[in-house]
Amino acid sequence: MDAFFASPEQQICRTLLEAYSGHGSTIIRGSSETDPLQDFARSTASGLVSAPRRLECRFLYDAEGSALFERVTQQPEYYLTRTETSILAANAACIRELTGPVTLVELGSGSSAKTDFLLRAWLEQGERVCYVPVDVSESALSGACSAITAKYPRVRVIGVNYDFREAFSLISKLSPTLVLLLGSTIGNFSPQEMSRFFMTLSGAMTPGDGFLLGIDLVKDRSLLEAAYNDAAGVTANFTRNIFARMNRELGSAIDTDAIEHVATYDRVKEQIEIYARFTRQQTFLLAPLGRQFAIPPGDMVQIEISRKFRLERVLPYLEEFGFSTEEIFTDERNWFALLLLRRRPRYYSARGRGR
Ligand code: TRP
């Protein structure tokens, strides 16, 4: 495995030139312009003073957090990953037939475990397969890249260690592609973030490119709340880990035993809301900034939202960004959906931007 430290644009161009002749895996690391500790400390400081207090979810996924999240996906109550995997297993060959031999670009790839079905379908129907996983977690990404190379030597893997919202310029260079956003990651965006994301993604994609989007569907409250409150307490530990990470990296001295994990479904907003509630008064030290913040007992910090979708609303909404629906894959209980979308040749956005 090799690594480059040039500018992001230069790196991807160089790597792409080699992509079809090279083999094995390459990792492109994010630019070192921002100091990661300053970035984490600043984001935490501004999140703690906003109303409601909230943290950016990209900080959930350090090495410990990524490993914990992998365990969350294996909990019996967490139906999302299992359901999405079964949909992928049943339809990977069909997806490949519909898209042709395009490069797979996965945003927020994590362990890449689910992608296995797609890689196999791509290998069965073609000679050369190029897979570009993009993830903020260096440990998850490098683990996934080595595992894929060991298992499928014919797959060219170009791992991109970026926050995927910064990887749009890469997408335009990789066409023809199938962009993957799985695991209900889109549900973790606020409505405004989601619109901005689809607008930018659509702009970065070439007409005809494919987009495979995993969405969790609105369902019974008890099923949803159980999925985010597993009995073994793994999700609660995942919530606590972001504070343990502050202790490790920012010297925060937070008592993680004073954190309760709270996850409830808001029926009006159709979203799960995940909070850490502090049972005792806390002082958060943020050493890189030389600042501290007092959090009174009973106060909550929002860790994440996970929005749930209805097909009848989300499909016309996606149309507004130039994505037409080619196929809808779902499970027999209609709990989860994988949408195969295609970037239309021309679209006139109701949101004021025509291309
Ligand atoms: N994308 C996942 C989801 O929305 C993320 C997730 C699952 C999560 N469980 C969590 C995030 C618990 C924070 C806390 O289902």
Q: Where are the domains of the chain?
A: 8-30+75-220+309-343, 36-67+221-307
pLDDT along the chain (355 residues), means of 10: 55 65 78 82 96 94 94 98 98 97 95 95 92 91 95 92 84 92 96 95 95 98 98 98 98 96 98 98 94 95 98 97 98 98 79 50
pLDDT of 34 reads 77
Give 139's DSSP letter: H
pLDDT of 25 reads 85
pLDDT of 354 reads 47
Do 259 and 278 meet the contact criterion of CB atoms below 8 Å apart?
A: yes
pLDDT of 346 reads 72
DSSP secondary structure string for all residues of 26-76: EEEEPPSSS-HHHHHHHHHHHHHHSSS-B--GGGG-SHHHHHHHHHHTTST
Of 306, 309, 336, the one to substitute when testing ligand 1's pocket (max ligand atoms within 8 A of C-beta) is 306
Count the Cβ atoms, other than its own, within 10 Å of residue 149: 19
pLDDT of 163 reads 85
Sign of torsion over alpha carbons 97, 99, 103, 106: negative
State whether the beta carbon of 108 lies less than 6 angstroms from ligand 1: no
pLDDT of 11 reads 67
Kindly report the protein residue whose alpha carbon is nearest to atom 7 of ligand 1.
Answer: 228
State whether the beta carbon of 278 lies less than 6 angstroms from ligand 1: no
- What is the four-CA torsion angle of 20, 21, 25, 26, rounded to 10 degrees? -90
Kindly report the protein residue whose alpha carbon is nearest to atom 13 of ligand 1.
Answer: 304
Of 74, 241, 245, 274, the one to substitute when testing ligand 1's pocket (max ligand atoms within 8 A of C-beta) is 274
State whether the beta carbon of 229 lies less than 6 angstroms from ligand 1: no
Query: At which residue do the structure tokens 């298992």 appear?
Result: 151
Kindly report the protein residue whose alpha carbon is nearest to atom 1 of ligand 1.
Answer: 185
**Token digits of residue 225:** 């709340």
Count the Cβ atoms, other than its own, within 10 Å of residue 166: 14
* Architecture of the domain made up of 8-30+75-220+309-343: 3-Layer(aba) Sandwich (3.40)
How many angstroms separate the alpha carbon of residue 306 from the centre of ligand 1?
A: 7
